[in-house]
Amino acid sequence: METYETKRTRDEKIETVFGVRPIIEAFKAGKTFDKILLQENLKSDGIDEIKEFIRRKKVSKLIAPKQKLNNITSKNHQGVIGFISPIEFVNIETVLTNLYKKNKIPFILILDKISDVRNFGAIVRTAECAGVHCVIIPKKGAAQLNSDAIKTSAGALYRVPICKSGNIRETGELLKKTEITIVVATERGAEDYTKVNFKGPLALVLGSEEKGVSFDLIGLADHKARIPIKGDIESLNVSVAAGILMFEALKQRNI
């Protein structure tokens, strides 16, 4: 049975794996999945093993009716379809260990449920230019890491380590325990971003344009930075805001 196919959507290629055993074998072979689509109320041999891989590998899991899976492939998917990620994810603990071994001051970017692919790609491109050491994204709610994201990032997604977090608050708490300052970008922030100290170990947090940064991360903030707005439009595009803040950090850290 053929188990791999390429689905073309708006000129982008998405590699998929379907079927219970093929997905298990793909996990065992070290394939990195961006997300797994499971048919609702699915009960069959191997599903528990797939769910365990999903949990351990921090893969996004979506539950959907059978018809949605049928719309993706006409092949015998057995109620499960996996979308291969074009990049490898890294562990944040490993990133931090390597940075400290090299006596580097961590510069981390947390993107909290930024789901727009082009915004995400543009931000990662700027992050690479600004010297960001890694980008942390949540397991659920992040932009799909597809060819569109890679193209918009100008290939930066191959250069900047991407960490996927199963619990973004726990990840934030881990960063605080390693004495990393957390700066949250928010329109409601009390501090002008130019007055915030970005020089030390830093985690800069940006949220989606619709919902902003989640309360879990706002609660961990050491600083809540605001970009002053002079016009009638109340907010900037998130990728523009990210660029302003990252290059303010770069300016301060290079002084």
Both tokens assigned to 20: 């219970």
The closest alpha carbon to 111, from 204, 240, 226, belongs to: 204
- 8 Å CB contact between 163 and 169: no
pLDDT grade for 233, boundaries at 50, 70 and 90 = confident
Q: What is the pLDDT of residues 62-86, one digit of tens each?
A: 899 999 999 988 888 999 999 888 8
At residue 184, what are phi and psi to the nearest 5 degrees? -100, 130
Q: Taking residues 109-137, what's their average pLDDT? A: 95
Q: Taking residues 183-210, what's their average pLDDT? A: 93
Domains of the chain listed by start with CATH number = 4-84 (3.30.1330.30), 89-254 (3.40.1280.10)
Angle between helices 20-28 and 47-57 (to 10 degrees): 40
Compute the mean pLDDT over every residue in the chain, rounded to the nearest whole number: 89
Strand (E) or helix (H) holding 83: strand 80-84
Cα distances (angstroms) measured from residue 2 to each of 16, 21, 75, 127: 11, 12, 8, 39
Say yes or no to pLDDT of 2 above 80: no
pLDDT grade for 131, boundaries at 50, 70 and 90 = very high
